Structure 1
Amino acid sequence: MTTSAAHLERLDDALYAWLPPRRGWGLANCGLLVGDDTALWIDTPYDRTRAAEFLAASRDLLPPGADVDRVVVTHANGDHFWGAGIVPDAELIATREALEHTHFEPDPRQQHALVRDSDPATPLGAYLKAHFGVFDWSDTDPVRPTTLFRGELEFRVGPHEVRLTALPPAHTTGDLMVHLPGQGTVFCGDVVFASTDRRPGDHAVHWAGPLSSVVDACERVLATGAETVVPGHGPVLDRAGVRDHIGYLEYVRERAHAFHKEGVPALEAARRVVAENRFPELALPERLVITIGTEYRHLGPAETPNVLDLFGEVAALAAELET
């Protein structure tokens, strides 16, 4: 087995979770479900280098003659999606709504140029290089799903049943969850950003919202009855861990609504929530700029900001917190 396979955690005889060894932007969890002569990926790493490592580790576990021939992406953020180019012949499955989100972000080569050419003397440039400079999208073309669905989709990977359920807008406009009833497991993408005492995670970041929809999505995860939940980022959770995350989401929602009612601008509201330090174990508190800004847009008419403008505010707050 390759050294990269150290990232793989066995959840079941046929199911594995690819867990990055540290937290941070772009370091997403993925899944591997192995059939008799077939295999499924659930999400992909951010760039071709990491996707190639995941593919090598996956192939170490496959029966002779089998390969990864199907990929499900839980949403269209690049850190779950762009690595699919490493298996170009695989069926790539996503919700129809996921395509809408791809228009909100730069494509891989645009993002590579943006990070490469950013000025490290500015807060934004320094932030982009610090958090995204480790990835390489210089040879990554945009990927496009080959199978799109609405509602629900079921199929099998060898003997294993797979149930996909499209979710209302929550983390993005195209979220889905992957329920594997035979394994008692759900992969829920970025509906959940997990943390435990043993392995602290990061603050959540949500682009679509509102947070009540994110909470509802978490409840739908629990309604499957699954005992094991693999979040988009952070450690594998049990049901109690999902409940803990719901508590976090409800806290952020309550504070955002309270500050909005007082007329506090979104950026200042994020700054105040960070200062409350309710969850000191979570890294990247500056991401609350995005999540609270998203919630504010649901509380009153506001235009969706440019992603670079958002990251400028995120970077500025991160620089404040470092001083």
Structure 2
Amino acid sequence: MTTRSANFHSIADGVYAWQPQQRGWGLANCGLVASDTTALWIDTPYDRKLAGQFLDRTRAVLRKGVTVDRILVTHANGDHMWGAGVLPDAELITTHEALHHIAYEPTPEQQHSLLKTLDPASDTGSYLHEHFGCFDWSDTPAIQPDTVFTGELELRVGDIPVQVSSLPPAHTSGDLIVHLPTRSTVFTGDIVFGSTATQPGDHPVHWAGPLGNVIAAVERVLATGAETIVPGHGPLLTRYDLRAHAEYLGHVRDRAHALHAAGVPVADAAQTVIDERRYPELGLPERLLVTIATEYRHLDGSEPPAMLEVFGRMAGLARQHGADNAASTV
């Protein structure tokens, strides 16, 4: 089993980032906003073990008697939410629209059971074991929010104002961003997947879309004027990096629209974009299949497939991509 480690560090006065040091599925960034009297988490790690490590690091920097009493969840993917069980008394806050995605995703119990029953020799089983087998949800209860909202939410952590904004469907059906104006920092959740010239990340995966909404959300982050951007995954970003990410999203959207107009099936469209190697430094290129399929659905009105079917298609594409890469080195 692969060891997962994370870097926990201060990024502004009273603001900390928890950042996994590896790339890959499920390794989400989280945040801590702390004062002399209260503290707040922004997202949680994927399972209780990682969440416990984040909690230990959190407690080490909090003043005596201060606890984390609120958790802001940027969206309802399990890798940003399922670790909340280590803080059972904290108020879990997310958007009302996130409830739709909670209903779409498997529960921790279902995902744990699925990994136990899938044949690891199959494409889907092999892929899921490779990317998710390091997590343990055997004692993770289904997580439900305590408080949901739509629109804007104003909070405070001591003297730190926290501006929370819900977004139209983008990465999921219910995303939010967290702006700390006095700290010039925004936590974006998976509206942004971080990548820089020196620290390349992975291809984004977007479940709800359309990509125009994701791009608009990135522009909304830029409009805050924040200088430090904490993406849902990957390294911290500057405003320059964020603009580069918007260009990436625009490229994928434009290619998806052109290939859809040409009548290219979605799987072939994803393979075409991968083969063009516009962004060869990014990992997990098979995730383009999900993002392009999401864009196709907005163009032709089709319904999203079941989650396991989605991963099966990605697994096949990943296997083919790996075989093509191996052949090219012979």
CA distance in 1, matches of 2:75, 2:224: 19
Does the 8 A contact of 1:270 with 1:289 survive in 2?
yes
Greater shift, 8-17 or 49-58, is seen at 8-17
Unmatched 5+ stretches in structure 2: 324-330
CA deviations 1:13-46 (Å, max 9, x no partner) are 2101100011100000000111112111000000
TM-score (ref. length: structure 2): 0.96
1:58 alignment counterpart: 58
2:326 alignment counterpart: none
Greater shift, 74-83 or 113-122, is seen at 113-122
2:315 alignment counterpart: 315
2:166 alignment counterpart: 166
2:93 alignment counterpart: 93
Question: How far off is 1:304 after superposition?
Answer: 1.3
Report 1:9-20 matches (<5 A): 9-20=9-20
CA distance in 1, matches of 2:146, 2:22: 32
Sequence identity, in percent? 59
Runs of 4+ in structure 1 deviating by more than 4 angstroms, as ranges, are none
Report 1:27-106 matches (<5 A): 27-106=27-106
C-alpha spacing 1:5/1:304, structure 2 compared with 1 (3 Å): closer
CA deviations 1:107-151 (Å, max 9, x no partner) are 001001111211111100000000000000010011111111110
TM-score (ref. length: structure 1): 0.98
C-alpha spacing 1:144/1:235, structure 2 compared with 1 (3 Å): same
2:299 alignment counterpart: 299
Q: Which amino acid aligns with 1:25?
A: W
Does the 8 A contact of 1:187 with 1:232 survive in 2?
yes
SS in 1 for 2:148: strand
Provide the aligned C-alpha RMSD in A. Answer: 1.0
2:183 alignment counterpart: 183
Question: How far off is 1:9 after superposition?
Answer: 2.2
Report 1:73-152 matches (<5 A): 73-152=73-152
Question: How far off is 1:6 after superposition?
Answer: 6.1
SS in 2 for 1:7: strand
1:243 alignment counterpart: 243
Report 1:159-238 matches (<5 A): 159-238=159-238
Does the 8 A contact of 1:229 with 1:239 survive in 2?
yes
Q: How many pairs align?
A: 320
Q: Which amino acid aligns with 2:57?
A: A
CA deviations 1:185-206 (Å, max 9, x no partner) are 0001000001012211000000
CA distance in 2, matches of 1:318, 1:132: 15
Question: How far off is 1:10 after superposition?
Answer: 1.2
SS in 1 for 2:190: strand
SS in 2 for 1:148: strand
CA distance in 2, matches of 1:31, 1:109: 26
CA distance in 2, matches of 1:266, 1:87: 42
CA distance in 2, matches of 1:261, 1:255: 10
1:284 alignment counterpart: 284
Question: How far off is 1:239 after superposition?
Answer: 0.6
CA distance in 1, matches of 2:104, 2:68: 29
Does the 8 A contact of 1:5 with 1:57 survive in 2?
no
Does the 8 A contact of 1:91 with 1:146 survive in 2?
yes
Question: How far off is 1:230 after superposition?
Answer: 0.3
2:327 alignment counterpart: none
Does the 8 A contact of 1:116 with 1:129 survive in 2?
no
Unmatched 5+ stretches in structure 1: none
C-alpha spacing 1:168/1:88, structure 2 compared with 1 (3 Å): same
Q: Which amino acid aligns with 1:33?
A: V
Q: Which amino acid aligns with 1:223?
A: A
SS in 2 for 1:243: helix
Q: Which amino acid aligns with 2:158?
A: G
Does the 8 A contact of 2:6 with 2:20 survive in 1?
no
Question: How far off is 1:296 after superposition?
Answer: 0.1
C-alpha spacing 1:6/1:26, structure 2 compared with 1 (3 Å): closer
CA distance in 1, matches of 2:9, 2:248: 26
2:273 alignment counterpart: 273
Does the 8 A contact of 1:203 with 1:283 survive in 2?
yes
